[in-house]
Structure 1
Amino acid sequence: MPLVRHLSRRSARLPVAALLAASCALALPIAADAASVREFPAPATPKGIAVGPDGNLWFTEPGAGRIGRMTPAGTATDFPASSPQNVAPAPTQPSRITAAPDGNLWFSDALGGIGRIRTDGSVVRPALPSPGGTDGIAVGSDGAIWYTKPASNVIGRIDSTFEGNAEYQLDGNRQPGDMVSGPDGALWFVEPASNSIGRITTAGQVSHFPIPTANADPRAIAIGPDGQLWFTERAGRRISQITTAGAITELPLPGTSTQPGELVAGPDGALWFTELAAGRNSIGRMTVQGAASRYPLPGSGTSPDVTRRPDGSLWYTRTSNTIGRVTPVASPTAGQQVTLEPMEQTNVMLKQPGARSWTSLPQEGMNVAVGTEIDTRKSHVRVTAAIGTGTPLTKTADFYDGRFKVVQPARADAQVDLVLTGQLMNCTPKRAARRTTTVRGTSANPGLGAPAVNGSLHPEAAVVSGRATARTAAIARRPTVSRATAKKPPKRKGRRLWGNGKGRFRTRGRRAAATVRGTNWLVEDTCGKSTLVRVREGTVLVEDFERRRTAIVNAGQRYVAKIRR
């Protein structure tokens, strides 16, 4: 393995912040509301999503002609959207989905009709008065299921018992889409073709309200956190409020490429909405006063729909064959708290300052105080911290396979230290480690071996030679243990922590610390009183506490900082 490149003695005396000034420019985070994001694989590309009466997430899969179900833990399965009573079921393309008071879920179908699915996955497709694809679907104040038919400009209703069917023809070309039950007991729906918002009472009386912005392309409508009606304008790049009297207030979104899609009231008193524009890869948030921001999502893919569970988490569908969960949390504060999120459904243990016992980190994540000790020896955690005081910007990195304490000062440029904690594992007991064997006038320590040279990459190796026989040397190297404890120790020794991410994070061992510059790296305290830094990807800046120097360690390299004798 190649040697590391050392900085000069002069540069070693510079503050670490100065050494990282250029590298931080490579990993500037973006402003966003604090939130925890996780994505789970779906059986097929999902579209509409709703919370079922069983607490699970139910979603449509138009391309597969199926309805999916996902538990809050991310386990998914799906069911055919066609009725098993049909000998030769017609092709289906389920679109939107909603939960109903009858304990079932109902979904619209772009290829025709609507469907009801029970929580056991059984489907019934009731007959409607006329053929045609459906889009919007909602439960009315009368308990009936209401739906829209864009191509035929029809609004329809059906009782949960499949009785009381009725359809109402709209005037002109309106192409009604998404629908919601309003605070006034009427059904409200978007009309993209006529650039208006429609309203129909449960008795069938229809009204239309034009949108001030021309060609706004309204996409979705929902009840906001204030109890009022809100809708998105995809082409108009606005999120707007409409009163039950029809008065519309439009709130523009920043940027020219944004295309708001679906929306839902969040647990934080704001509106959360999906982005339909290719490449945006984000979930948006807007207060009822019009202050907007966005939260970036991992990977790529647009988000067709979003819903909210009773626990406050927001769930969205994505064209990347995933279902995502966003949990809004308070922003981390420099020097006070950081945000933790367990990854890959692992059990992260933590002990907050002053606590006597360890507790599990909730799967939705939480904020913890600086000084919290975290155990990821069998888990994986994502840490989000404030860049510093006086800014909403944050930085994020993942850590695993170690136990550590989070330390951060309260200042403008607040580096986060992850300090290795816990005892060194499976190391030679001190009594055995001090045992020496004298041969030909030379004293060697078989437990520790030869020291690394100048913090280089030379492996530690014991040197045993002399007058003693090989058997004597072997006995000298053998630790003294009782029969009750004479078990083969595991291969892993010492203590370690892997890190993966960008921003001002520094993992700190006994003899050295490694500051991330956009990478995947390991810091490990070994039994031989040294600290190993190893880099898989990217670059880290190593501070050698023993030799008071710094070194740049690149991918494929490692650095050993040893105690000075």
Structure 2
Amino acid sequence: MQKTAQPGIREFAVAGPDEGPYGIAAGPDDALWLTFAHSGEIARLTLDGQLSRYSAGSASCRPTVITRGPDGALWFTRTDGRIGRITTGGELTEFALPDPAASPFGICAGPDGALWFTEMSTDRIGRITVDGDIAHFALPAAGAFPSFITPGPGGALWFTLNQADAIGRIDLDGEVALHSLPDGTAPVGITCGSDGALWFVGIAAGKVGRLEVDGALREFPLPDPGAKPHAITAAPTGGCWFTQWGGNRVGRISPDGHIVEHDLPTPDSEPHGIAIGPDGAAWTALEIGSVARIAHDH
């Protein structure tokens, strides 16, 4: 079923209201890949609406963030202490972390051909090779709640520390540096923009932030302070798209900080993950059981 809120926005039902989805990524096969956090599944959605569903493990494994790996497969985190890998044909492999209570969350492909991920419960950054070898790097902060992670300038990985109000940088040797943010920011999503800066969202502050490699920071308040921005992704034509979980909107911010917001078709649809699809449009996962497509020229 498709719903339209305004020109350029379409919504498609893909799951039951209690199944997810949560994370979304573009695969190497011209399809979107989704995590169904509550039913323990991964789904593949083609641009013409064909949906395939695959088990991600047990029904309670809670797959969350998903990303395209360097090996042509999709890699995802499971909050039950595992990293999952699924091929475009639906073949699943899982890798158990040394600490089953680690709660991995963010994950991305690094410049070294490995996957890098955050562990919310252990204050560590993890690295897993495509063969399943795992290494860990401790963070110089306790209770920091590392969240999303992205490749960034200088061959490093950049990540948000939600409870420490900071952005972290880790190089391929495991050296970590932290950049403090204003108190009460609570950063979650982060991405590297086409301008070479790190763009992030502060879920508690209702702001989008831009951090340069040298630590220079700019903040852009959203019109609704209670919007609760959650995830952010760079647009190929410049700027970034981001979700507003509390405001039921998707926003776009230009490189100079101009913000345009778009209401979603269904009230309280809980937008979380966002990605640029193979068609150049922004696609967001709605936890009520849908995805929304926002045209790239909207």
TM-score by length of 2: 0.80
1:67-78 superposed matches below 5 A: 75-78=8-11
Match of 2:139 in 1: 211
Distance in 1 (CA, whole Å) between partners of 2:4 and 2:155 is 29
Cα deviation code 1:2-35 (max 9, x no counterpart) = xxxxxxxxxxxxxxxxxxxxxxxxxxxxxxxxxx
- Aligned pair count reads 257
Question: Partner of 2:233 in structure 1?
Answer: 307
Q: CA deviation at 1:236?
A: 1.1
* 8 Å CA contact retained: 2:251, 2:260: no
SS in 1 for 2:49: coil
Measure the CA separation in 1 of the matches of 2:3 and 2:232: 15
Give the drift of 1:248. 0.7
Q: 2:117 aligns with which of 184, 189, 194?
A: 189
d(CA) in 2 for partners of 1:213, 1:244: 19
For 2:157, which of 220, 229, 244 is the aligned residue? 229
282, 293, 296: which one pairs with 2:207? Answer: 282
Q: Does 1:134 align with 2:60?
A: no
In structure 1, the partner of 2:104 is 176
Q: Distance in 2 between matches of 1:275 and 1:69?
A: 28
Aligned CA distance change for structure 1 residues 263 and 120 (closer, same or farther; 3 Å): same
Question: In 2, Cα distance between the equivalents of 1:137 and 1:342?
Answer: 26
C-alpha contact (below 8 Å) 1:177/1:191 kept by paired residues: yes
Pairing of 1:1-400 with structure 2 (within 5 A): 75-82=8-15, 91-111=18-38, 112-131=40-59, 132-150=61-79, 152-163=80-91, 165-172=92-99, 173-253=101-181, 255-277=182-204, 280-300=205-225, 301-318=227-244, 319-329=246-256
Q: Distance between the aligned counterparts of 2:84 and 2:194, measured in 1?
A: 32
Native 8 Å contact 1:81 1:92 kept in 2: no
Give the whole-Å Cα distance in 2 for the aligned partners of 1:207 and 1:287: 28
RMSD: 2.6
Query: CA offset at residue 313 of structure 1?
Result: 2.4
Alignment of 1:441-460 (within 5 A): none
Cα 1:229–1:321 change in 2 (3 A) is: same
Contact residue 67 and residue 81 of structure 1 kept, 8 A: no
Seen in structure 2, the aligned counterparts of structure 1 residues 128 and 236 have a Cα distance that, compared at 3 Å, is closer
Amino acid at match of 1:246: G
SS of the residue 2:121 aligns to:
helix
Identity of aligned residues (%): 35
Change (3 A) 1:327 1:74: farther
**Residues 225 and 266 of structure 1 are in contact (CA less than 8 Å); yes or no, is this contact kept in structure 2?**
no
The change in CA–CA distance for 1:156 and 1:239 in structure 2 (over 3 A counts) is same
Task: Give the Å deviation of 1:263.
Answer: 0.7
Structure with the largest fraction of strand: 2
TM-score with structure 1 setting the length: 0.43
Residues 79-107 of structure 1: CA distance to partner in whole angstroms, max 9, x if unpaired? 1223xxxxxx6941111110011000101
> Aligned AA for 1:312?
G
Question: How many angstroms does 1:342 deviate by?
Answer: 9.8
Contact 1:312–1:327 (CA under 8 A) maintained in structure 2: yes
Stretches of 4+ moved more than 6 A in 1? 66-70, 341-344
Offset, 1:327: 0.8
Amino acid at match of 1:321: N
